[in-house]
Amino acid sequence: MSVCITGWAHGKFGKWPKKDSEILIAEVVEAALAHAAIDPADIDAIYLGTMNNGFQKQDFQASLPGLTSSALRYVPATRVENACATGSAAIHAGINAIEARKARNVLVVGVEKMTAVSTETAGDLLLGASYRKEEADIEGGFAGVFASIAESYFQAFGDKRESMARIAAKNHRNGLANPFAHMRKDFDFDFCNTVSEKNPTVAGPLRRTDCSLISDGAAAAVLSEAAHALAFPRAVAFRSAVQVNDWLPLSRRSKTHFAGAEMAWTRALADARIGLDDLSLVETHDCFTIAELMEYEAMGLTESGQGFRAIDEGWTEKDGRLPVNPSGGLKSKGHPVGATGVSQHVMAAMQLAGEAGDMQVPDARLAGIFNMGGAAVANFVSILERVK
């Protein structure tokens, strides 16, 4: 427990035509510093996560948090990118700086402005998180990549569209309680399970309700050295923080098993000296419902091919054995790529601090977070525990 989260802020995800990244960043930086009750002059480093890849012409975005306060003018600021796991990569960079004794307090920001381009362009930009030499021509863009994963999974274990619809319905139901969510609508199982004009097929077996949202948004967290974190109003400690990478080309690994994700979970739980059943909740990377289904297996909730049981039998409901995505996940909350990993850490910290409002899981003590870049290529798992 060498690093704690001592403050945070979360913007409302959505489509914000009048807000660019600079505005989105400013909103959460000021709020996170205030929440931590820290003077900006006490920030030793800034790590900003954004994928960009053409979503905006303004790049070099690590320089933007410094514009919020003259006290941040000379603070070292670094941009981090790791596809859809960019936010967690920025968190890890902050942890590393503190553990290396290069900083005592670090500001981490995750941001993405995605809606200024067309849906078609956004789909192509997101394909930058795939192995373009082999996967660039997959029909349906990045949704097509996960459609191919779903098809392979179905061939091995049977058609799981009904279970995927239950995941979508669960996350939309949870998202109703999240004031920061992009889409706060209660799409029930029947709607999610039926192809219709309002829920068309996107790629292969994936319907619109199986896919996360293209969103604008930002989130921020203050990380502090554990030795002085108890001086802050609140402190949520990292019991573990693990990254495991896997091969980028899908052709070189099984599409029916997220091996890198499983290894990350195994290492993180071992580092934290706990079992999965000790967790109060998990925030996991449901970019597509098939991903959440397979992540149940990767975290050890079920055996391979049995992930459907976790949702069909109600284990992952908010009042179930292990609540998964009580925030609504990417499915309801939205998926501004660079912000997602930071958002997940903020949502988990809110739960542990008892500050999650209507999202609150009762008596939350330990939280797990899984954030992945690409199709389970960059795999990040954090285990958090409140210490103050």
Q: What pLDDT sits at residue 376?
A: 98
The domain spans of the chain are: 3-117+214-229
Flag whether pLDDT at 141 surpasses 90: no
Residue 194 reports pLDDT greater than 80: yes
Alpha-carbon gap, residue 351 to 143, rounded angstroms: 31
Residues contacting residue 135 through CB under 8 Å, at least 6 positions apart: 127, 145, 249, 250
Cα dihedral across residues 9, 341, 328, 387: positive or negative: negative
Give the chain's length. 388
Query: What pLDDT band is residue 1 in, cutting at 50, 70 and 90?
Result: confident
Question: Following CA atoms 295, 300, 305, 311 in sequence, which dihedral angle do they give, to the nearest 10 degrees?
Answer: -70
**pLDDT tens-digit profile of 287-298?**
999 999 999 999
Only one residue has tokens 């996107």, namely 202
For residues 1 and 100, the model is more confident at 100
Query: What is the CA 336 to chain-centroid distance, rounded?
Result: 9
Instruction: State the first-to-last Cα distance of the chain, in angstroms, to the nearest integer.
Output: 13
Computed on alpha carbons and rounded to an integer, the radius of gyration of the chain in Å comes to 19
Distance CA 49, CA 93 (A): 10
Neighbours of 172 (CB within 10 A): 23
CA distance 20 to 59: 12
Return left, alpha or beta for 363; rule: phi > 0 is left, psi -120 to 50 is alpha, else beta: left
Q: What is the DSSP letter of 18?
A: T
Confidence band (pLDDT; 50, 70, 90) for 139? confident
Per the annotation, the verdict on 84 as an active-site residue is yes
User: Model confidence over 235-266: pLDDT tens digits?
Assistant: 999 999 999 999 999 999 999 999 999 999 99
The answer to whether the CB of 71 falls within 8 A of the CB of 30 is: no
Q: Is 305 exposed, middle or buried (0-12, 13-18, 19+ CB in 10 A)?
A: middle
Give residue 382's identity as a one-letter amino acid code: S
Residue 182 annotated in active site:
no
Is the predicted pLDDT of residue 140 greater than 90, yes or no? no
Say what the pLDDT of residue 238 is: 98
| Fold annotation for 3-117+214-229 | Peroxisomal Thiolase; Chain A, domain 1 (3.40.47)
Q: Pick the catalytic residue: 4, 84, 211, 287?
A: 84
Q: Which two tokens stand for residue 213?
A: 């949202």
Average pLDDT over residues 125-145: 91
Alpha-carbon torsion 386, 49, 19, 67, what sign?
positive
Q: Is 110 helix (H, G, I), strand (E, B) or coil?
A: strand
Average pLDDT, the chain: 97
Helix (H) / strand (E) containing 189: helix 189-192
pLDDT digit string, tens, across residues 55-112: 999 999 999 999 999 999 999 999 999 999 999 999 999 999 999 999 999 999 999 9
The 10s digit of each residue's pLDDT in 315-368 is: 999 999 999 999 999 999 999 999 999 999 999 999 999 999 999 999 999 999
* pLDDT of amino acid 287: 98
Q: Are 71 and 41 in contact (CB under 8 A)?
A: yes
Q: What is the pLDDT of residues 2-57, one digit of tens each?
A: 999 999 999 999 999 999 999 999 999 999 999 999 999 999 999 999 999 999 99
Q: What is the pLDDT of residue 90?
A: 98
